[in-house]
Amino acid sequence: MPGLIEIPKSSFLSAEPKVTLVNAFSRPFDNAVATARTCYSSKGIVTAEQVAGEGLDGEKRGERRQKRDELARSIYKAGHHTTLQHAYFQFALENVSRQFIWSFLHSHPFYNSEQVSQRYVTVNPSPVATPPLAGGAERVYRETVAFQTRAYQSLTEKLKPLVGREYQARFRHADLGGKKAATAVQKKAQEVARYVLPVATFAYLYHTVSGLTLMRYWRLCQSFDAPLEQRWVVGKMVEAVLREAPEYRAILEEPLPFESTVEAQMVEAFRATPASRKDFRLEFDASLEGRTSKLVDYSKEGEKMLAAAVREVFGLPSSALSDDKAIEMALDPAQNKYLGETLNVTTHSKLSRALFHPHYTFRKKLSHTGDSQDQRHRMTPASRPLLNALALDEPDYLVPVLLEQEPALAGEFGEIMERTWDGIAQLKKEGVPDEFASYLLPNAVAVRFTESSDLLNLHHKHAMRLCYNAQEEIWKASVDEAQQVREIHPRIGKWLLPPCGLRARAGTLPKCPEGERFCGVVVWKKDLNEYRRVI
């Protein structure tokens, strides 16, 4: 079809990514121009049909559409891009790697995804993303993936007795022979065992973005960490939209070549060595001082700013509303009842928006799989690393807490990591580019980064991740963060609570919103310093 882009043929050895456009706005491009014209219309709303010249004869319709494209190009070049955010496109994506999802699809705030979970869904032996390799390199890659898959299956089974004991300790009257307990034990065992799986593992998901975000995808698709797969998948997404609305071709820019990206140029300029990368890791880890997440910067007058903002909302002087009372009004669920609701409405509340002003910055270290959970909190943005430029030199990974309870299993886990990095080293000796060798990295690989948040969005994140059902690493990081905020801002920190704690204070029933997924611990009665969990 004329107007479609040319997608380079990929030489990946695995199944092609499957991209299906399942939902889209009607007349998305015409709508974008109609919204722009409406801004300056003295006659009310301009419709997409008017923009496209519907109802006009052929020549006049052609002139109208030419003007449409000229206006679209003009406002696009001027940077007036909000018009392109109205139309959304929902894709079903299959045969895409976890590396691509982590590094590209979920690395920014402007999307929504529902992805198959490795926590709750058993990963069956299946094809993984296999980059263009040949000869000995292909053999090493396939053998390493097969080893990682067997290790996952074996570790899942070996973990079940340990998980069962921990489950019985939490649910004392549980019947471990029953279906409910068996299912819970299976899920927890595979949640930990998944740490050995490669980031090449395929996933499937629904992914929804605006027209503007899709155009940004296309412009930067040939960037770290997986440029070939990114170009392939995003190209199919763009092609699907152009079939639906070929008019987007009028403003679609070509992708930047990989070597033209700022990151590629920086990597080339600095030429880091294994020794310098190791120095970085040691320096970063020492700065954490034993924590998963270390508070490294914050609004020093955060409590005063919050209190003043609350007074501003109601036009009250400090003589009428003290700092203590103002902070309680904003953060105590007994007074700010919005905090006890299931639906997060705080950004729509004039009072709760006072929480935007205090800011906190944390340096943290999570596994690839833990960070894949953390990055879904899109309003607590982070500067994440170029993973395939940092992580290939030597084994560098996190050990799940559960494995630390069983030295033999922890030792076996370490051996699996050594064998995995040995496969990566063999690929490097074969001359395989870092981009392709990095697909063998395990989910356990360490990801080091800095993350910042305003109090409003940190509060919401902790409400989700201080829950005992949250993934263990992100739960531990959230406990670290809440404890440190308490130390520097005690009047704020005491209100960073899990959902059951907020609901209990607000008088919302049931206190635990998880229903059958209740963790088995009356967390709302515990102080933060008493939080302990293994599973």
pLDDT digits (tens, 9 = 90+) for 251-292: 999 999 999 999 999 999 998 999 999 999 999 999 999 999
pLDDT digits (tens, 9 = 90+) for 362-406: 999 999 999 999 999 999 999 999 998 899 999 999 999 999 999
State yes or no: cis peptide before 490, omega within 30 of 0: no
Terminus-to-terminus CA distance in the chain, angstroms? 54
User: What is the pLDDT of the chain when averaged over all its residues?
Assistant: 96
> Length of the chain, please?
535
- Rounded CA-CA distance 338/330 in Å is 10
Q: What does the pLDDT read at residue 2?
A: 44
Question: Where does the pLDDT of residue 11 fall: very low under 50, low under 70, confident under 90, or very high at 90 and above?
Answer: confident
Q: What does the pLDDT read at residue 125?
A: 83
Query: DSSP letters of 424-450?
Result: HHHHHHTT--HHHHGGG-BTTBEEEEE
User: Is the distance from CB of 471 to CB of 373 less than 8 angstroms?
Assistant: yes
Q: Work out the number of other CB atoms within 10 angstroms of the CB of residue 475.
A: 24
Q: With a cut of 60, say whether residue 429 has pLDDT above it.
A: yes
- Rounded CA-CA distance 256/270 in Å is 21
Dihedral angle, C-alpha 438, 443, 447, 452, nearest 10 °: 130
In the chain, the amino acid numbered 54 is: E
Mean of pLDDT values over 298-314: 98
**Residue 108 carries which DSSP code?**
S
Question: Where does the pLDDT of residue 3 fall: very low under 50, low under 70, confident under 90, or very high at 90 and above?
Answer: very low
